[in-house]
Chain A
């Protein structure tokens, strides 16, 4: 019976959004020999970002430059949208989604191993930066009147 992916596995492809460029190329290299075909895009365009004020009134904050792509892998479709003008990353994001839905377990595991290793590096970098921010937590004291 096919097991539902764990939350960590489900979120793993999102780490592609934060991968350094060499890691994106490495990921694309991993799937280069496979029959992954780009069926739409990659297109660089704009997404209007919606936001909400204090009273939950929605408004448009401004546009964000993104790149999107859609791929096919053995009849399984995958979609990726990433920030910036970044066709490789969008294709990588879409390819990982299509491979995740495909029956090719060996390839899926190879991709997941790479992503898990990169995800740990991203997390370590983020923790270090977060601890610097945490060190700026302040406890102001009001001065007593004399």
Chain B
């Protein structure tokens, strides 16, 4: 079926854009600085970077402001921006035990090498609105920061890096390996080629890592509730900074370009005896920024897609990977708002014709008594 374009409406469209700006600006509050969004709404910025698949905190903050807080739209702005910049290269993969950790917990073991570190979290707070932290002067903010830092001065320093929790189980041969691509195979890049099915593991992980948090959560939650059979335990959840290492173009040596904040989740799932005796299976999640729900959901879906039964939506790789991208799904949803006048007229014509035939048949049929 072809589409028929419409044209015109330029003035109305321009005024609609101005009306949107007016909605954002009409209140009496001070204009919102992108730096304020970046620093104080950091979880929102992290989510937009992760779903936009572009790590750029300053630009993500700008996008959040421009989109008036709509995360799907902000992520779309980042995806659009990335198409205007050249791809300079690929980084050297870094194992996550090189992460500078700010949070690291395990639900599987109480005592883990290096210890459990709660880090910055509101997991253990009551969900009560705190009216005291409303806007205050800058000096009060600085005093509060000083006070928080002073209170922690005597803590014993953390190790530079932490060993992986699942390595404890791996040493005892209690973990199943995942199919690895041959060493020569470069990872699949879904930004260069269309996603094939069944998807190579690298393509699946990349697609999940850029997926929309709500979409991943929905599918992972369906599995947790029983439309699936994973029964996950969080072996380890980490938040921290991974170095971005690239090949120096003049010396060929690895050099560091900076640090990227990420969240990583490794889940231990129901054991299997399909290969080499009973062992746990592992699901893996990693995404830009601090987004624990997304990383855990990704790990559950990574594991559920390996089930191979397709008995529920979360186990069907094609179903999961085709529906988790926020920009694709919101784009498709939003496109229904665009004029479909000609398609609909065609539907109407067919409906009227069908109704005529239906009515004529009713008239022709003898009445039953």
Contacts and interface: CB of A to CB of B under 8 A. Distances in A.
Interface of A: 14, 17, 43-66, 68, 70, 77, 79, 81-85, 127-142
A58 B190 CA distance: 14
A140 B116 contact: yes
B228 to A, nearest CB: 20
28 contacts: A17-B259, A46-B82, A46-B88, A47-B246, A48-B89, A48-B91, A48-B189, A54-B266, A55-B282, A56-B180, A57-B181, A57-B187, A59-B188, A59-B209, A60-B90, A62-B55, A63-B82, A64-B54, A64-B55, A66-B88, A79-B249, A82-B257, A85-B59, A130-B158, A131-B149, A133-B102, A133-B119, A134-B156
Interface centre among B57, B93, B191, B259 (most CB of A within 10 A): B93
3 nearest A-B residue pairs (beta carbon): A83-B258, A65-B56, A50-B93
B284 A53 contact: yes
B186 to A, nearest CB: 8
B314 interface: no
Contacts of A135: 151-152, 155
A128 B148 CA distance: 10
A62 B246 contact: no
Given A134-B155, A137-B158, A62 B54 contact: yes
B-side interface size class: 35 or more
A35 to B, nearest CB: 19
Contacts of A64: 54-56, 91, 244, 257-258, 260
A123 to B, nearest CB: 12
Interface of B: 49-50, 53-59, 82, 85-96, 102-103, 110, 115-120, 148-149, 151-158, 164, 166, 177-178, 180-181, 186-191, 201-203, 205-206, 209-210, 242, 244, 246, 248-250, 255-260, 262, 266, 282, 284, 286-288
B85 A49 contact: no
B249 A70 contact: yes
Interface centre among B92, B181, B203, B260 (most CB of A within 10 A): B260
Contacts of A82: 257-258
Interface centre among A51, A128, A133 (most CB of B within 10 A): A51
Contacts of A17: 256-259
Given A55-B178, A136-B119, A62 B53 contact: yes
A43 B85 CA distance: 9
B93 A45 contact: no
B280 to A, nearest CB: 11
A83 B282 CA distance: 33
A52 B94 contact: yes
B146 to A, nearest CB: 10
A45 B244 contact: no
B143 to A, nearest CB: 15
Given A46-B54, A50-B187, A66-B88, A61 B82 contact: no
B155 A137 contact: yes
